Structure formats: C-alpha cells, structure tokens
C-alpha cells in the first residue's frame, strides 16, 4: 500500500475541509449589526456625540470584530486581508462624500439666480441692496482671456513638444524636458505675480502714458504661462505614440523632416493633441489667482482685452464671495455653477475625444 492511498488518521478528505474555510456572510452581517448597536449604546448612552460619531465608532468596532471573527475561522493572514480590503473600500466611500456634497450644493444653490438676467447684465451700478446683477461681463472676460491665452500657448506648446520629440537630442533637450515638468508645478499665483511685475508694472506703462494698467491681455499672458507646460507635456506624449514606420515611410519617399512632421506626424496625433489642449483650456478657465492680480476686475462690460480692467467668471465668484451684500452669495453660486459646467463640458468632451483616439494605448 503506497503512501498516497493511505488516509491520515483524523483528517478525512471531505468536501468541507479540502477548501480553506470561509467566514460566512451571516457572521459578517452579524458583526456589523452588533457593532452598530454597541456603538449607539456607548455614544448615545454616554451622550458624547451624535449619529456621525455613532457611525465612526461603529466602523471601528466592525473592523475589530471582523478581525476577531475572521482570525478564528480563517486564520490571521486572511483576517488581515479582510481588514485591508475593508479599509480600502471605505477610503473610496470617504472620497465620494465631499464630491457629492459639492455637486449637490452647486445645483441647489446655483439655480436660485439661474435666469436670463444673470447672463445678460453686468455688475455695473449694482449696489448692495440690488437683488439683480449678472455675470455677462465676467463671461465675456473669461472667453476673451482664455481664447487669447490659447492662441499664444498652443503654437508655442506644440512647437516645443515637436522640438522635444523630433529634434531634441542631448543635454539641452533633457533640461528643457525636466523644466517643462517642473513648470507644471508653478503655483498660479506666482504666474500672476510674474505677469504683474513684468507686464503690468514694467511694459504696460509704455503704452499708457507712464501709468501701469490692468488688462484682460495681462491675464491671458499669465494663463499662457500656466497652460504652456501642460500642452507641451500632453502633445509630447501623443507625438511619441506616433509609430516610427510612418515617419520612415515619409523619409523614404524623400519628404523633408519638417514636412513629415507637419503632414504626417501632426495629423496622426491630432485627436490626442486636441484632447490635451482642451484639458489645459479647462484648467485655465478655472484659474482665479492670476486674474485677480493682473486683470483688475471691472464691474462693467469691457469688450476690449487690451484696454483697461476686465473680470472673469472665477474672479467674479471670488469677488461675490467676499461681498457683504445679502444677494451676493446667490450670484457667487450661480457663477460657480456656470464655471463648473463650462469646465466640465470641456473636460468631458476632451475625454470622449480621447476615447476615440486610435493612438491611445
């Protein structure tokens, strides 16, 4: 009789014990219910908190109880696995809560002033006791500033990415690449201060009889500084995804490198590049700090981005948030809703475009 056929004494190979033992769902739920009851008894009995504390204590008790029960049934390693799984799931729930609250507040408080008047009037001659007033001037400002910034940042950014991918070799290219990455982390307020020091205080007096002048164009300069690294980075990634044989095919036909880049590489990567640009535009549209420093924040409609102070939607939200009028919060929330809708539409459109991109990995 071989060793294999011999059954060890006391260990029968039944379907029950051939698999690892699992903690049953009933026990799991039982532990949860017990934890909630115990926590409610402790917290409400001692009077040290409300239902939020009950939930927190219950969650802690549940983890302890689950660990105890699971280590009895499944062993300590499996119990630890369960605890970490529970913690990771609860981290997810915890992060959803503030997002849900932000969305709910935006919608519930934002609809109060969501009317035609809000989108067709400015804050010109609106006193503290006037319930009306709108964000027409701010929307104009946002569109013009972001548009100008896009016009400046896109050619610069795409060309910079072309340099990094197609031409750049050696130390200098590595340095440029490193500082593009570093530049993505420059705080927006520093970009604002830079344009304040450079454009508003030093350059703009030349055009304005010696007095510094705030303008929408200054804001778009600051936004350009912020958009540039993002555009370079995303364009670079897309250009790197263009297959090498496409370029080699063009070279083999005798096409010069610049024409290969413009006619073959760029069109292939175009959907991805546009996605990156739209994400950069969405971020720039939401920037408050640079606009606050250099655009001046006028209350009246100013269509000319080069002449005199302008406002922007994000700045409008900030100004209304700091306004003492009792009608200001409603205006702030409606403007915030408008801004978020604008930004999210851009972002979602960009992501959908990215999904149709055939180059993406």
Partner 1 sequence: MGDDPSRSADANAGGPVVTTSHSRAAGGGVPPTPLDGPPLGGGGGLPRKARFSMETGFRGLSTAAGAMVLVIIIAIAIFLVSKAVPALNANTENFLSYKTWFPNDAEPKFGIAALAFGTVLTSVIALLVAVPIALGIALFLSHYAPKRLATPLGFVIDLLAAVPSVVFGLWGRDVFLNPVRDFSVWLNTYFGWVPIFGGDGPFGRSILLGSLVLAIMVLPIVTSLSREVFQQTPAMNEEAALALGATKWEMIRTTVLPYGKPGVIAAVMLGLGRALGETIALALTLGTVFEISFNVIENGGNSIAANIANTFGEANATGRGALIASGLVLFAITLVVNMAARAIIYRRREFRDSAA
Q: Which residues, numbered 206-245, are part of the site for partner 1 (CB under 8 A)? A: 225, 228-229, 232-234, 237, 240
What number of chain residues touch partner 1 (CB under 8 A)? 99
CA atoms within 13 A on the CB side of 184: 14
- Find the binding residues for partner 1 in span 8-47 (CB under 8 A): none
Question: Taking CA 163 as the corner, what is the angle to CA 160 and CA 164, rounded to the nearest 5 degrees?
Answer: 90
> Is residue 251 a contact residue for partner 1 (CB under 8 A)?
no
* Alpha carbon distances (Å) from 50 to 43, 44, 56: 8, 7, 10
Return the range that interacts with partner 1 (CB under 8 A); candidates 35-43, 57-65, 123-131, 258-266.
258-266
Nearest to 123 by CA among 296, 286, 301: 301
CB of 353 to partner 1, least distance (A): 14
* Phi, psi at 314, each rounded to 5°: -65, -40
Return the range that interacts with partner 1 (CB under 8 A); candidates 1-9, 29-37, 132-140, 189-197.
189-197
Choose between 56 and 303: whose C-beta lies nearer to partner 1: 56
Nearest to 199 by CA among 280, 286, 295: 295
CB of 303 to partner 1, least distance (A): 24
Choose between 40 and 156: whose C-beta lies nearer to partner 1: 156
> Is residue 317 a contact residue for partner 1 (CB under 8 A)?
yes
Alpha carbon distance, N-terminus to C-terminus of the chain: 59
Question: Taking CA 334 as the corner, what is the angle to CA 333 and CA 339, rounded to the nearest 5 degrees?
Answer: 95
CB of 113 to partner 1, least distance (A): 14
Choose between 81 and 304: whose C-beta lies nearer to partner 1: 81
- Find the binding residues for partner 1 in span 113-172 (CB under 8 A): 155-157, 159-160, 162-164, 166-168
> Is residue 333 a contact residue for partner 1 (CB under 8 A)?
yes
Choosing from 92, 129, 170, 356, the residue that interacts with partner 1 (CB under 8 A) is 92
- Find the binding residues for partner 1 in span 264-283 (CB under 8 A): 279, 282-283
Task: Classify 84 as helix, strand or coil.
Answer: helix
Choose between 325 and 347: whose C-beta lies nearer to partner 1: 347
Choose between 48 and 246: whose C-beta lies nearer to partner 1: 48
> Is residue 303 a contact residue for partner 1 (CB under 8 A)?
no
Question: Taking CA 50 as the corner, what is the angle to CA 49 and CA 56, rounded to the nearest 5 degrees?
Answer: 85
> Is residue 339 a contact residue for partner 1 (CB under 8 A)?
yes
- Distance, CA of 341 to CA of 30 (rounded, Å): 44
CB of 2 to partner 1, least distance (A): 27
Count Cβ atoms within 10 A of the Cβ of residue 71 and give its class: 0-12 exposed, 13-18 middle, 19 or more buried: middle
* Alpha carbon distances (Å) from 44 to 6, 34, 126, 176, 221: 60, 15, 51, 61, 58
Choose between 5 and 342: whose C-beta lies nearer to partner 1: 342
């Amino acid at each position: 009789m071989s060793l294999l056929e011999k059954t060890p004494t006391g260990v029968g190979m039944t379907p029950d014990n051939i698999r690892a033992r699992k903690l049953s769902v009933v026990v799991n739920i039982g532990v949860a219910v017990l934890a909630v009851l115990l926590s409610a008894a402790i917290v409400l009995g001692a009077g040290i908190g409300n239902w939020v504390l009950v939930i927190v204590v219950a969650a802690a008790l549940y983890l302890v109880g689950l660990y105890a029960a699971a280590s009895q049934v499944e062993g300590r390693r499996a119990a630890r696995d369960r605890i970490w799984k529970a913690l990771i799931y609860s981290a997810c729930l915890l992060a959803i809560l503030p997002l849900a609250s932000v969305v709910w507040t935006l919608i519930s408080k934002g609809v109060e002033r969501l009317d035609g008047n809000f989108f067709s009037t400015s804050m010109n001659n609106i006193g503290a006791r006037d319930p009306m007033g709108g964000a027409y001037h701010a929307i104009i400002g946002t569109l013009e500033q972001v548009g100008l910034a896009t016009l400046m940042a896109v050619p610069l950014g795409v060309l910079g990415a072309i340099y990094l991918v197609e031409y750049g070799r050696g130390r200098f290219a590595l340095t440029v690449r490193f500082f593009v990455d570093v530049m993505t982390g420059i705080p927006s307020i520093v970009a604002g201060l830079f344009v304040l020091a450079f454009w508003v205080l030093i350059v703009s007096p030349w055009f304005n009889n010696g007095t510094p002048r705030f303008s929408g164009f200054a804001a778009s300069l600051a936004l350009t500084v912020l958009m540039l690294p993002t555009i370079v980075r995303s364009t670079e990634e897309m250009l790197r995804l263009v297959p090498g044989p496409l370029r080699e095919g063009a070279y083999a036909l005798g096409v010069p490198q610049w024409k290969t880049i413009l006619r073959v590489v760029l069109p292939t990567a175009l959907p991805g590049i546009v996605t990156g640009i739209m994400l950069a535009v969405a971020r720039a549209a939401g920037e408050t700090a640079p606009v606050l420093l250099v655009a001046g924040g006028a209350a009246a409609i100013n269509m000319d981005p080069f002449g005199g102070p302008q406002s922007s939607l994000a700045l409008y939200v900030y100004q209304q948030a700091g306004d003492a009028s009792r009608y200001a919060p409603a205006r702030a929330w409606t403007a915030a809703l408008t801004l978020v809708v604008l930004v999210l539409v851009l972002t979602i459109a960009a992501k959908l475009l990215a999904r149709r991109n055939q180059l993406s990995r």
